[in-house]
Structure 1
Amino acid sequence: MSIVVTGATGALGRLVVDKLLATVPADGIAAVVRDEAKAAPLAARGVEIRVADYDRPESLKGAFRAGDRVLLVSGSEVGRRVPQHTAVIDAAKEAGVAQLAYTGILGGPDADFELAAEHKVTERLILDSGLPHTFLRNGWYTENYTANLGPVLEHGAVVANAGDGRVASASRADYAAAAVAVLTGEGHIGAAYELSGDIAWSLAEYAAEIAKAAGRDIEYRNVPAAAHQEILVGAGVPEPFAAILVDVDAAIERGLLAGTSGDLARLIGRPTTPLAETVAAAVAATGA
């Protein structure tokens, strides 16, 4: 039996493997990756590398073994995730894995925004498969925002159509720690965890944290949805994805990403990482 992490060279999967290596012997960890060369650092640390691709179901037949505990990190290609996830679920069922943990989205079946649609379908597929499962309904990563600090610092503004809505984000490392707790612990089969930060913040508060860290004025500029869509497309964001981001902001305004259930802090055994800490580190990394 191994603990298996799919998408193990991605931003979240890599952090999960790093945290697993701190608690589990390397020979008990397997990384499912598309590109074996990218996984060379993991192999050097003793992690078993299993090469497979969500888009090639036949490649997944050897990705899992009976009794494995598997983390299915959701695919990043919006619009293609249902067939990709279906291939993983089918392979996991055929192998007879002991647990399939899935990184979905905060709110699960109650999330009504477009980005949640494929996650909801995936949860239903997992339920229908009969696999022993755990749903990790991840809220927003603070890094979803701080990864795009360049334009904010350049123009002195956080631009969105989220109104006064609040976001209970946490760091990506927090979510990785929760996944490790579920994969290495007991009593999680059949559970659905609503994972989010301890404190929900507004985008005006986010802009204020950037201003504090950068030592310059940063405003929050709330704009109509159509104007935000136009700004994003003008900045090079593909139109379909820009529409999804605008729709997410509308969901934030409706309060759908503000939930603070406490599940994340309970799983990781500590408070979630404060917004100010992640923002300060990200601003410092830009050299601003």
Structure 2
Amino acid sequence: MILVTGATGNLAAAAIDHLLTRVGPDRVVALARSEAKAAPLRARAVAVRLGDYGDPAALAHAMDGVRKVLLVSSNDHGNLLTHHQNVIRAAEKAGVEHVVYTGTAVRDSDASPMSPMLTALLRTEDHLRSSGLTHTVLRNTMYTDALPVFLGADVLERGIDLPAGDGRIPFALRREMGEAAANVLLQDGHEGKTYELTAPEAHTIEDVARVLSERSGKPVPYTSPEPQEFTDGLRAAGVPEPGAALLSAFVTDMREGRYDIVTRDLEDLLGRKPASLDASLREVYRL
């Protein structure tokens, strides 16, 4: 059986969707915090085990009879490393054969305003290596699906006002990263490997604006304001301080080129080229 943690989140859901095209639901176990959110999984005959990363007893129960685990990174940034260590220890005790872990593809993490979170992700990799568990690390680039969070719901009407400068990002669709993770779980030969899952080409936010303009038939101008002006605008719009700081940190990493990592790993794991920027933006924005 394959256990998928964080099963009601978007990346885990994408992985489960692909797993269910290849194996029966009796082979998939979902770890979820909420019975209500897990109901659609139960409706598909997927076994649901309730619990969270902070509950070692629940994690031990979730691992019962499991051979492989997809460890999707916790979204509790203040407790990332502890949460991941809890899952890894539970996997060790249960004799799990293979752990696949999803982290982040970013360079110069020490210089990032999100350094504490990124350090926790990298230390999770170290903990996996020292655990003795057979494992695979998947470092995911920024999701194309996340662009509406940064650009706003009305981007086609207002344009893009984001201090990303000419930073380049190899955006990729979350569903394709979930598919790649599922393939790693289902195939042999990935043990001990670290993959950086990115599109085969990096693009600027100006490129995003150009594609949105072409596909929508509306002019979508791109303006890169001063970073402080952007952060002040978030606060003025009522975005809570932690959210404003996090969005600003992500944009800083975009602007400073920390996501500018391009590999063929995603293409190789999918067995085809990932969706282009044009195709992925049409999917995300339904153009």
Deviation of 1:149 after TM superposition, in Å, equals 4.1
CA deviations 1:49-107 (Å, max 9, x no partner) are 11111122222110113661100111122223222222211211111111111110004
Contact 2:3 2:66 in 1 (8 A): no
2:55 counterpart residue number: 56
Partner of 1:135: helix, strand, or coil? strand
Paired AA for residue 25 in structure 1: G
The answer to whether structure 1 residue 43 and structure 2 residue 42 are counterparts is yes
Superposition TM-score, scaled by structure 1 size: 0.91
Q: Pick which of 248-257 and 31-40 moved more.
A: 248-257
1:227 counterpart residue number: 229
2:275 counterpart residue number: 273
* Percent identity of paired positions between Structure 1 and Structure 2: 37
1:245 counterpart residue number: 247
Unaligned runs of 5+ in 1: none
The RMSD of aligned alpha carbons is 1.9
Question: Matches of 1:80 and 1:170 in 2, distance apart?
Answer: 27
CA deviations 1:200-257 (Å, max 9, x no partner) are 1110110112222322221111112211211222233332332233233222233221
Distance 1:44 1:244, change over 3 A: closer
Contact 1:181 1:268 in 2 (8 A): yes
Paired AA for residue 23 in structure 2: V
After the TM superposition, which residues 8-19 of structure 1 pair with which residues of structure 2 at under 5 Å, given as runs?
Answer: 8-19=7-18
Distance 1:234 1:32, change over 3 A: same
Question: Matches of 1:281 and 1:223 in 2, distance apart?
Answer: 28
Superposition TM-score, scaled by structure 2 size: 0.91
Paired AA for residue 166 in structure 1: R
Question: Matches of 1:107 and 1:250 in 2, distance apart?
Answer: 12
Partner of 1:32: helix, strand, or coil? strand
Partner of 2:171: helix, strand, or coil? coil
Question: Matches of 1:99 and 1:241 in 2, distance apart?
Answer: 35
After the TM superposition, which residues 87-106 of structure 1 pair with which residues of structure 2 at under 5 Å, given as runs?
Answer: 87-106=86-105
Unaligned runs of 5+ in 2: none
Contact 1:30 1:49 in 2 (8 A): yes
2:177 counterpart residue number: 175
Question: Matches of 1:104 and 1:85 in 2, distance apart?
Answer: 11
Question: Matches of 2:181 and 2:235 in 1, distance apart?
Answer: 34
1:150 counterpart residue number: 153
After the TM superposition, which residues 115-264 of structure 1 pair with which residues of structure 2 at under 5 Å, given as runs?
Answer: 115-147=117-149, 148-154=151-157, 156-264=158-266
Question: Matches of 2:19 and 2:76 in 1, distance apart?
Answer: 26
Contact 1:66 1:96 in 2 (8 A): no
2:6 counterpart residue number: 7
2:64 counterpart residue number: 65
Distance 1:99 1:247, change over 3 A: same
Question: Matches of 1:145 and 1:36 in 2, distance apart?
Answer: 29
